[in-house]
Amino acid sequence: MWTCSLLKQNARQALSGTYWRTFALCLLLAIVGVGDYSVTASYHFETEVDRLNTMFRGRVWTGEAAQADIWQQLAGIPAAVWSIVFVILLISVVIAVLWAAFVAAPLEVGRNRFFMENRQSPAPLRTVTTVFRTPYLNMVKVKFLVDLKIVLGLFLLVIPGIYWAYCYLMVPYLLAENPYMSTTRAMQLSREMMHGEKWHAFLLRLSFVGWVILGMLTLGIGLLFLEPYYQATMAELYAALRSKAFAMNLTDASELGGFVRH
């Protein structure tokens, strides 16, 4: 039975001597929108900088008069301009979805493979990009369908989305180990691995809240340094649940052959 402290201890051991390499990797991935705390850090930092710039330029509007002024300016914008804005926003959304599906999602799988290999010995940074080989499109399809189900659950009733997010928490790791796995099988095996573990996984994530608060005190920059530790810990969680799955005969070596370096 795994515990939060045990997984974190194993994560620190895996990062021993390789932390700065993993930090550089997480930083590069954060630039393209891949990460958990690193992405939060970038957003938080940019938000704080914009807020401070606005304050110093004296553009903080408050009260009903300010709101009326804003609505008056918006009402004066021609319909043609609104049409252009709508088209730009639509194109931006399409580009964002395509980027997330064809670049960010595969890189997330590659990052997970990197951290799993790094548990055994220092993994080369190029491990992350191995996902762009065959069967690249299968990983894109599986991740897209799983993420779509989670997003729809969040939009519809919120709770189903959160529940499914934990049910399918292991899907990116399963794809990292077996990129040929089908959508149905990946979702099924992840659900079985997370059975009885969702609350413990939530507590594991919650155990980082202290570090997150400290990171926020540095305008989010500190969260960049937390990302490698968090990802290494989540890799340890997958390793623990993988062992459990083998013990319960949920899978075998023919399906999950390990993280052999190519």
pLDDT per position as a tens digit, 156-186: 888 999 999 999 999 999 999 999 999 999 9
Structure tokens at 159: 């709770």
Q: Poorest-confidence range of 37-41, 57-61, 83-87, 102-106? A: 57-61
Per-residue model confidence (pLDDT) at position 156: 85
- Pairwise CA distance, residues 23 & 229, whole Å: 9
pLDDT per position as a tens digit, 223-244: 999 999 999 999 999 999 999 9
End-to-end CA distance of the chain: 31
pLDDT per position as a tens digit, 73-121: 666 677 787 788 889 999 999 999 999 999 999 999 999 999 999 999 9
Per-residue model confidence (pLDDT) at position 53: 54
27 contact partners, CB below 8 Å, separation of at least 6:
38, 224
- Pairwise CA distance, residues 196 & 175, whole Å: 22
- Pairwise CA distance, residues 172 & 115, whole Å: 12
pLDDT per position as a tens digit, 195-210: 999 999 999 999 999 9
Q: What is the DSSP string of 82-103?
A: HHHHHHHHHHHHHHHHHHIIII
- Give me the helices (H) in the chain, please: 4-15, 19-31, 37-56, 63-75, 79-99, 105-118, 136-156, 159-167, 171-177, 183-194, 198-206, 209-216, 221-247
